[in-house]
């Protein structure tokens, strides 16, 4: 691994956004491809962060800082990855369901999965079922992710899955759900493919869905 890539890994792990833009631009100017920077810099950094989070050596604020560092680099790399036709790991459409305005957990999942090489389409919060349907039609993702933090909004997950069925799209995507009140039993009850208790589990589940 080049010194530059090792620096990028370190900056991601330490969650220090100050230098990542300059490092990313320097790596590109020295001939590293956007895909190399993603695969050998950002992804190993976020993998380390995910493992540390799982071991309770890092906490949500730390992970968010690391994810923001990764995002600042991806803002530069994203267009170049598209231009080069680089194959991404997969595609994810994600959102907090209708009636729910909480988005910290959803944002963390989106950033962790983007750090795993996925193209992520974040629909935001308070997303109605028809908006999920439209996004699946438009982006043709491998996975749909839904979040809810309120027991009163959990049923919107069920309605979204039903809307995907009615549109003939349910069998084209894997569905994973999460959020404080959500359980694996609830996921099974509404016909989701997976329940994810945290961002690291979501990333690993997404990778498993696309065979990585």
Q: What is the pLDDT of residue 21?
A: 94
- Burial class of 143 by CB neighbour count within 10 A (0 to 12, 13 to 18, 19+): buried
Q: Is the pLDDT of residue 212 over 80?
A: no
Average pLDDT over residues 5-29: 93
d(Cα 69, Cα 2) in Å, to the nearest integer? 19
User: Six-digit token pair at 183?
Assistant: 């359980």
Q: What is the pLDDT of residue 1?
A: 60
- Examine the domain organization and report whether 118 and 161 are in the same domain: yes
pLDDT digits (tens, 9 = 90+) for 63-73: 889 988 998 99
Distance of CA 143 to the CA centre of its chain: 10
- Examine the domain organization and report whether 135 and 203 are in the same domain: yes
What range does the domain containing 202 cover?
Answer: 90-209
Average pLDDT over residues 33-60: 91
d(Cα 49, Cα 121) in Å, to the nearest integer? 22
pLDDT digits (tens, 9 = 90+) for 139-184: 999 999 999 999 999 999 999 999 999 999 999 999 999 999 999 9
The mean pLDDT of the chain is 93
- Examine the domain organization and report whether 98 and 45 are in the same domain: no
- How many domains in the chain? 2
**At residue 146, what are phi and psi to the nearest 5 degrees?**
-130, 140
Average pLDDT over residues 90-103: 96
- Examine the domain organization and report whether 22 and 96 are in the same domain: no
Q: What is the pTM of this model?
A: 0.86
pLDDT digits (tens, 9 = 90+) for 106-135: 998 998 898 888 999 999 999 999 999 999
Domain boundary among 68, 83, 98: 83
């Amino acid at each position: 691994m080049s010194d530059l890539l090792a620096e990028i890994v370190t900056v991601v792990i330490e969650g220090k956004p100050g230098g990542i833009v300059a490092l990313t631009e320097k790596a590109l100017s020295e001939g590293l491809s956007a895909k190399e920077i993603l695969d050998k810099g950002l992804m190993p950094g976020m993998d380390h962060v995910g493992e540390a989070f799982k071991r309770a050596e890092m906490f949500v604020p730390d992970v968010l800082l690391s994810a923001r560092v990764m995002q600042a680099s991806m803002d530069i790399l994203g267009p170049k990855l598209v231009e080069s036709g680089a194959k991404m790991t997969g595609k994810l459409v994600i959102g907090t369901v209708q009636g729910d305005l909480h988005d910290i957990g959803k944002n963390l999942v989106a950033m962790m999965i983007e750090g795993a090489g996925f193209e992520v389409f974040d629909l935001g919060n308070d997303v109605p079922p028809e908006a999920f349907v439209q996004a699946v039609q438009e982006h043709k993702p491998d996975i749909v992710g839904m979040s809810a933090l309120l027991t009163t909004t959990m049923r919107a997950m069920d309605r979204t899955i039903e809307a995907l069925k009615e549109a003939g799209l349910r069998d084209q995507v894997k569905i994973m759900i999460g959020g404080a009140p959500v359980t694996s039993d609830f996921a099974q009850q509404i016909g989701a493919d997976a329940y994810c208790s945290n961002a690291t589990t979501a990333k690993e589940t997404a990778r498993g869905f696309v065979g990585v």
